[in-house]
Amino acid sequence: MSEKMAWSQLIRDVPDFPKPGIIFKDITPLLADGEAFSAVIEEMAALVDGRVDAIVGIESRGFIFGAALAQRLGLGLVTVRKPGKLPADVHAVEYELEYGVDRLEIHRDALAPGHRVVIVDDLLATGGTAAATVKLIEMLGAEVVSCLFVIELDFLEGRKALAGTAVASLLHF
Active site residues: 61, 98
Asked if residues 114 and 143 have their Cβ atoms less than 8 Å apart, the reply is yes
Closest among 75, 158, 163 to 121, alpha carbons compared: 158
User: Phi, psi (5° rounding) for residue 34?
Assistant: -55, -45
The whole-angstrom separation of Cα 63 and Cα 43 is 17
The sheet with strand 167-172 has its strands ordered as 76-80, 54-58, 116-124, 143-152, 167-172
